[in-house]
Amino acid sequence: MYKIKVLVVDDSAFMRKVLSDIITSHPDINVIDTAKNGEEAIAKIQKHNPDVVTLDVEMPIMDGLSALQRIMDSHPVPVLMLSSLTQQGADATIKALQYGAVDFIAKPSNIFKINVDDMKKQLQDKIIVASKVNCRKKILHKAQVHKKARKIESNTKKSTSRQAKLRKIVAIGTSTGGPRALQNILPNLPKDIEAAFVVVQHMPPGFTKSLANRLDSISEINVKEAQHNDILLPGHGYIAPGSHHMEVVKEDDKFKIKLNQNPQVCGHRPSVDVLMDSLASLRSSDVVGVILTGMGSDGAKGLKNLKKNKTHIIAQDEESCVVFGMPKSTIKLGVVDKVLPIDDISDEIIKAVEV
Closest CA to 80 of 98, 56, 62, 59: 56
**How far is 69 from 96, CA to CA, in rounded Å?**
9
- To the query of whether residue 298 is one of the catalytic residues in this protein, the response is yes
Q: Which of 298, 320, 329, 346 is catalytic?
A: 298
Q: Is 216 a catalytic residue?
A: no
* Integer Cα distance of 44 and 8 in angstroms: 10
254-260 vs 245-251, strand pairing mode: antiparallel
Residue 21, helix vs strand vs coil: helix
Residues 6 or more apart whose Cβ sits within 8 Å of residue 274: 200, 245, 246, 247, 262, 265, 302
DSSP assignment of 75-138 equals S---EEEEEESSHHHHHHHHHHHHHT--EEEEEPSSGGGGGSHHHHHHHHHHHHHHHT--TTTS
Q: Which of 26, 202, 236, 244 is catalytic?
A: 202
Strands of the sheet with 52-56, listed across from one edge: 29-35, 4-9, 52-56, 79-84, 103-107
Indicate if 344 belongs to the active site.
Answer: no
Q: Which of 20, 83, 131, 175 is catalytic?
A: 175
CA distance 145 to 346: 13
Which stretches of the chain are DSSP H helices? 13-24, 38-48, 64-74, 87-99, 117-131, 178-183, 207-217, 272-280, 300-307, 325-332, 342-354
Could you tell me how far CA 172 lies from the centroid of its own chain? Answer: 11
User: DSSP E strands: which ranges in 154-219?
Assistant: 168-174, 195-201
Known catalytic residues are 175, 202, 298
